[in-house]
Structure 1
């Protein structure tokens, strides 16, 4: 995974989308785990894709207020202007990447680790792996960034656990934080263009089709 992202970041051509969107994203993060889940007779619910209830919404709101508010409020209090104009070009790529991250690190890794070693070890380990995975991105390889990402990853993992292992809570805690990180640290991300937005849109459509086919297949298998 780290190698695929690092290879992708060497290119600004179609090769980037081959290594990043297709191989790392759809291949390693989604299709491989789905194939393994199908062999075990598991569906999307076993990877955290469950309905949101009152408890889940409460956890989601609490973590978003703490993490997002903790970043925005000090800047607003200091009179800083938030560079919102940077965001539109990055929305679809970040929506896509955040899905890959949370599906793999929470829906797959954390769920498997929890079954083997318990929830505390799973939270810490999935947070650590989330941090280390960012070694693939040249802009996030400093010790300071990795330490911050460890804390952030543990936060996402904790939100996932406290919500009853609900993927959507972890996803919607991660996504606004990804948006803010891009606003404040745009230079550390892969270059976002109209082309990357178009490729992200196509990848999201393919992702939706894959999940729909998998869900229908599991439904038929259990009938």
Structure 2
């Protein structure tokens, strides 16, 4: 094999290796061992990152302190609202639980959109909301969701519709919040400041830790760290949120809630989640409209307009 062919194979290797890793990581869910999953999957991802060729440095040292401050403030506020919903109000106070839960999800989507678009003047592409790489991202998300469905929900006996349809609405809404907040915002900003390896690890750790608001134990959060790495790697590969939503993340959340059986909601809950999701989509629409009017379409993952102009001068 010639040197040119070898280099061509090396460049294409990550394109196939990471999807294979992701499929394997999802199949490992069948082990049912939280400790093995929470430790083994992140270690395997780190090994892949170290041995596979890449055009990006794995670590960087140029933190954007405005981004770090925004992450910290929004993260603390979201976790506090979830803690208030599930540890203070609980299902004994349905109205208080829903209002604080909804406020946490809305803050986790509207906050990053406002900060990204109106304060930092970045396009929605910086949050992974764009048409870029759309087909490839959707194809990867479809494959991963199909594998997850096959090992979890295929053949699973569904209860009465009232016991699972509201859970599906919950999963779709929470899935959008988690995709935007943890992947499009936290992970993307951490990667921009510290590189892909710290970005994936940091976003996954914050994703696992935020479940303290749900009242989860340490062993569950260790497992969620491993699952967070899977979602983070998928987003890092695709750079588009469609790889995670509306299929992969909601399917996992739906199965977990269905199997747990601890959440019971009436039909009316569907309207509440539809309202929350509608407000999130409306925020995306207003941001896209603002982006077109202010000419931010060219300001993507690299940051603000000044950064874009500096990059153009470097290329020239």
SS of 2:244's equivalent in the other structure is helix
**Conservation of the 8 A alpha-carbon contact between 2:200 and 2:233:** yes
Deviation, 1:167, is: 0.9
Instruction: Tell me which stretches of 4 or more aligned residues in structure 1 moved more than 4 Å.
Output: none
Counterpart for residue 32 of structure 1: 111
Change (3 A) 1:136 1:50: same
Are the aligned partners of 2:127 and 2:180 in contact in 1 as well (CA < 8 Å)? yes
Does the 8 Å contact 1:60/1:169 carry over to 2? yes
- 1:166 maps to 240
Shift, 1:195, TM fit: 3.3
Higher mean C-alpha deviation, range 194-203 or range 98-107: 194-203
1:19–1:50 Cα change, 3 Å: same
Of 158, 183, 188 in structure 2, the residue corresponding to residue 83 of structure 1 is: 158
Matched, 1:155 2:230: yes
Determine if contact 1:156/1:170 at 8 Å carries over to the other structure: yes
Give CA deviations for 1:152-208 in whole Å, capped at 9, x if unaligned: 111111111111x11111223211111111221122x4x422232221111122222
Please, which moves more after superposition, 128-137 or 13-22?
Answer: 13-22
Q: Is the 8 A contact 2:167 2:258 kept in 1?
A: no
For residue 114 of structure 1, the aligned residue among 187, 191, 203 is 191
2:293 to 209, 220, 223: 220
- Is 1:69 the equivalent of 2:146? no
Structure 2 residues not aligned, in runs of 5+: 1-77, 297-316
CA RMSD between the two structures: 2.0
Work out whether 1:203 is the aligned partner of 2:203.
no
Partner of 1:186: 261
More helix by share: 1
Match of 2:3? none
In structure 1, runs of 5+ residues without a counterpart are none
Q: CA deviation at 1:72?
A: 4.4
Equivalent in the alignment of 1:135: 212
Is the counterpart of residue 47 in structure 1 residue 127 in structure 2? yes
Number of residue pairs matched by the alignment:
210
Shift in Å, 1:4: 0.7
**1:58 Cα offset (Å):** 3.5
Map of 1:57 onto structure 2: 138
CA contact (8 A) 1:127 1:151 kept: yes
Structure 2-normalised TM-score?
Answer: 0.62
SS, match of residue 62 in structure 1: helix
The C-alpha deviation readout for 1:10-65, integer Å capped at 9, x for no partner, is 3333222321112x1112x0222122112111121110012254422332133223
**Shift in Å, 1:129:** 0.9
